[in-house]
Each structure stands twice: as C-alpha cells, then as structure tokens.
Amino acid sequence: MDNSFIQDRLVQKFQENIYGYEEHFGVLTLHANKDFNLKILQYLYDDEQLAFKFLKDLTAIHYPNNVGQELVVTYLVYNMYENVAVRLKFALPIEKPSIFTATKIFETANWLEREAYDFFGVDFVGHPNLIRVMNVPEMDYYPLRKEFPLEDQTRKDKDDDMFGRGGDFNYGGFNVKVN
C-alpha cells in the first residue's frame, strides 16, 4: 500500500471535505473539515484494505496568524501490517476550539486528547473525562498557545534578583549593582 492508494480511497469517500494533501518524509498528510474527523478516522480504521488501527499520536498546534483556523488538531494513525502512517490535520477557530472525541475508535485518544485540552484548550466533544492531566486544575490559561510570555508571570520564585538580572549581589568580594 502506498500513499497514492490511500489518497485515492479518501478522495473517493470524502472528496468535498478534504482541502488538501501533502507528503513529508514519506508520510501522507491530509487537511480536512473538522466536522468529519470521526468519519474519516472511523473509515481509516474500519476499511479492510486501509486498516489504520493504531493512533500513534495526537496533538495540537497554535498558528496565531491563521485567523479563524488558529488551532490545528493533528492525528497520526498507523497501519502496523503495512508499516504506513497517515497524518490528519483539522483546523479550529481559537474562539471555540472544539472537535469530536476519537475515544470510541482509539482508546489511546483518551490521554492524548486530555493533553491537547490541558495545553491548548481544545474541547473534545463527547470525551468521557476531559480534565487537566499535567497542569493544576486552577490554571486559567493554556500554556502552549503562543499568546503568553515564555516565562510564567505568576511565579514568585523567579524574581529577577535571584537570577542576577537586577538588584545587588556579591561577586568575588565586590558588591555589584545590576540595573
């Protein structure tokens, strides 16, 4: 099975809901309508010739300059019999970043979707337990979005004086003032 075969099968089935294809390092990537993520994933899983039975990875990416499509949810599905992977990308608006959960197709989606929610704020509609898994529940922002400073501005232990970026400190017996 090669990428042109996979692409032809997907075009036959979902032609009007697939926006484009590309290939990077031998992996076929398709861009599709977010409302069809489950139908496309289920088709790739159920079709006997395609047989993409393993969700290898799921993540999100923030593109702040793509107005209306700022967040992209990316699935990497894998056919273990043929040693072939396909990447699926679905763009979401940052104002309401929601997409259907894939937990009923792939059990591995459970934790991967939680992670994408935790770091990017993607709402996976129908997820059985969409909670933060790495950050504290009280956190009121999503740290991997490119709309925040690189350093956590709420931390008190990162005072500039502690890192020699301001204040006075002693260096080799000399008092030094850093402005």
When divided into structural domains, the chain yields a total of: 1
Asked if the structure places residue 72 within a domain, the reply is: yes
Least confident of 7-11, 88-92, 161-165: 161-165
Asked if the structure places residue 177 within a domain, the reply is: no
Q: What is the mean pLDDT of residues 104-118?
A: 98
Residues 6+ apart with CB under 8 A from 57: 74, 75, 76, 112
Q: What is the CATH number of the domain that holds 50?
A: 3.30.460.80
Q: What is the mean pLDDT of residues 112-120?
A: 98
The predicted model scores a pTM of: 0.82
Angle separating helix axes 3-14 and 37-46, nearest 10 degrees:
130
Asked if the structure places residue 160 within a domain, the reply is: no
Per-residue model confidence as pLDDT tens digits over 129-142: 999 999 999 988 89
Asked if the structure places residue 29 within a domain, the reply is: yes
Quick one: pLDDT at residue 171? 61
Asked if the structure places residue 162 within a domain, the reply is: no
The one-character DSSP state at 141 is S
CA-closest candidate to residue 74, choices 118, 48, 26, 41: 41
| Angstrom distances, CA of residue 60 to CA of 81, 105, 122, 138, 172 | 27, 19, 8, 21, 48
- C-alpha radius of gyration, the chain, whole number: 22
Asked if the structure places residue 166 within a domain, the reply is: no
Per-residue model confidence as pLDDT tens digits over 28-86: 999 999 999 999 999 999 999 999 999 999 999 999 999 999 999 999 999 999 999 99
User: Which residue has better confidence, 171 or 84?
Assistant: 84
CA-closest candidate to residue 54, choices 73, 34, 78: 78
Q: Which domain holds residue 62?
A: 3-150
Give kind and range of the element (H or E) at residue 25: none
